[in-house]
Structure 1
Amino acid sequence: MDPLISLRAVTKTYGAGATAFQALKGVDLDIAAGDFVAIMGASGSGKSTTMNILGCLDVPSAGTFLFRGHHVEALDRDQRALLRRRYLGFVFQGFNLLARTSALENVELPLLYRGDEKRARHDLAMAALDKVGLANWWDHTPAELSGGQQQRVAIARAIVTTPDVLLADEPTGNLDSERSVEIMELLTQLNRDSNITVLMVTHEPDMAAFARTVVHFKDGLVERVEAQHRPGEAVDG
């Protein structure tokens, strides 16, 4: 089966001339549909630049980026935005919730941008909140929620459009260890039960342990890719 996402000889250079900085130096990476991938590496290793490219928030300087066999590097800005809306969901370390709106209204935002009718937005947002265990908190604002609950709302917002891929940038970075494990268990459940491909940047080995695949970046390149057994998951054979 062809990979869902494929990068070949992807480079990214910022600036020009003597001040140019090559953040990526020829990245090759395949991601299978339904995988849970943790992306790790030191600051400046290229992991965040790669995630920005995978999320269609940036474009390669050179190389090939295939999504479902289509050349993303050839798309214009509007086409990339359409790909993001249809196929990708995003979760960030800082939650990025609107402070004066309810959990339900926060989750409805991507559907509002998509042009869904009010009733459809409500039903889909409530279903997403139910998936993350917050259906009973739909009318609470972020200030009335714990950090872990706020991240659950952010995850509900990311999955409300039923994306193929969920990109999570340090999703547990602002949480204590107990809440971090809860969020990782939720991401694992969504990956397993909804078959959402999860791509997660993390500095924490304990969080990376929840992934099936760990990609290690170093100096703008993929240093190694490791398959691993997740906690609580049966071993084949």
Structure 2
Amino acid sequence: MSEPLIRLRGVTKVYGEGATALQALKGVDLDVQAGDFVAIMGPSGSGKSTAMNVLGCLDTPTAGGYMFQGVHVESLTRDQRARLRRRYFGFVFQGFNLLARTSAQENVELPLLYRGEPTAARHAAAARALASVGLTGWEHHTPAELSGGQQQRVAIARAIVTEPAVLLADEPTGNLDTQRSREIMELLWGLNVDHGITVLMVTHEADMAAYARRIVRFVDGVVANDTLNPHPAGLHEAPALAPSMTPPATEVH
């Protein structure tokens, strides 16, 4: 097996000091191969969200090692981590986090605006991303004019417009009904299979986790078990998506 895309070794995370210190992670070991689809589960306070924040370079471990394509992330400066995050990671949240008075296209363009991409390039990339999530024709609608499922599709398009290597989804179906939840999971499965994007997803829902190739369960700040799913639900349900977007090689300066 090739070197993992992501490797955590002995990762701990402590918040606070002294008697009030909270150890959220207590020595986490985890490998994720490129192209994997991992569901991260566990009760509230188990450490799964903290682990996702560390994996997405939104937080740093107190101790231990985090390697991303051979780069020691824990040794990077804040600016280097920010560049790594912007270039290689896309984020999807339970609450969509869309700008209310801004069109779908403008919401999707936002990460490219932060990168300083020219207007024409932003427009073209946003149109491709929206098409890949089935929203061609909805570019100029605001979130208030979209259903919950459509809003989450816009959020996913925003996450993939930069062509990330890794998509981190935190309860992506938490605000959706059953049918819309399945549509979003089929979309995530298709992005994983057709685009080669590695997906890491936090979920409390077993039927959503069933789409993943692996299910990692956190309990009390450690990985309690890591199980392969031999029959992911997406194998039978995912639609075909747009042509593959190839993630770039790692380069952090």
TM-score band (shorter)?
Answer: over 0.9
3-state SS of 1:12 partner: strand
Aligned residue identity for 2:43:
A
> Structure 2 matches for 1:118-133, cutoff 5 A?
118-133=119-134
The SS at the match of 1:56 is coil
By how many angstroms is 1:18 displaced?
0.9
Q: 1:31-53: CA deviations, max 9, x gaps?
A: 00000000000001010000000
SS of equivalent to 1:135: coil
- The aligned residue for residue 98 of structure 2 is 97
Q: Which amino acid aligns with 1:36?
A: F
Distance 2:43 2:18 in 1: 26
Aligned to 1:154: 155
1:57 alignment partner, SS class: coil
Aligned residue pairs total: 234
Q: State the alpha-carbon separation in 2 of the partners of residues 231 and 59 from structure 1.
A: 33
Q: Following TM superposition, by how much is the alpha carbon of 1:232 offset from its aligned partner in structure 2, in angstroms? A: 5.2
Which residue pairs with 2:48 in the alignment?
47
Cα gap change, 1:232 to 1:23, in 2 (>3 Å)? closer
Q: Counterpart in 1 of 2:175?
A: 174
**2:109·2:123 contact (CA, 8 Å) conserved in 1?**
yes
Instruction: Report the AA paired with residue 164 of structure 2.
Output: P
Q: Name the residue aligned to 2:4.
A: 3
Counterpart for residue 74 of structure 1: 75
The equivalent residue for 2:36 is 35
Structure 1 residue 65, shift from structure 2 partner: 0.2
Q: Distance in 2 between matches of 1:46 and 1:21?
A: 11
CA distance in 1, matches of 2:176, 2:234: 22
| Counterpart selection for 1:231 from 210, 220, 233 | 233
Matched residues, percent identical?
Answer: 72
Q: Which residue of 1 aligns with 2:242?
A: none
SS in 1 for 2:180: helix
Give, as a single letter, the amino acid of the residue that structure 2 aligns with 1:233: L
Mark the CA change 1:232 to 1:103 in structure 2 (over 3 Å): closer, same or farther.
Answer: closer
Cα deviation for residue 233 of structure 1 reads 2.5
Residues 1:124 and 1:232: Cα distance change in structure 2 (over 3 Å) = closer
How far off its partner does 1:76 sit?
Answer: 1.3
Structure 2 unaligned runs (5+)? 237-253
Matches of 2:16 and 2:6, distance apart in 1: 27
1:112 and 2:121 correspond: no
- 2-structure distance, mates of 1:117, 1:197: 28
State the alpha-carbon separation in 1 of the partners of residues 220 and 23 from structure 2.
Answer: 9
TM-score (norm 2): 0.92
DSSP-derived class of the 2:137 partner: helix
Q: Secondary structure at the match of 1:172?
A: coil
- Tell me which moved more, 12-21 or 155-164: 12-21
1:2-61 CA-to-partner distances (Å, cap 9, x unmatched) read 000000000000111111111100000000000000000000101000000001000000
Give the Cα–Cα distance (whole angstroms) in 2 for the partners of residues 76 and 11 of structure 1: 19
How well do the aligned residues superpose, as a CA RMSD in angstroms? 0.8
| Aligned residue identity for 1:195 | G
How far 1:68 moved relative to its partner? 0.3
Task: Give the distance between the partners of 2:22 and 2:54, measured in 1 at CA.
Answer: 16
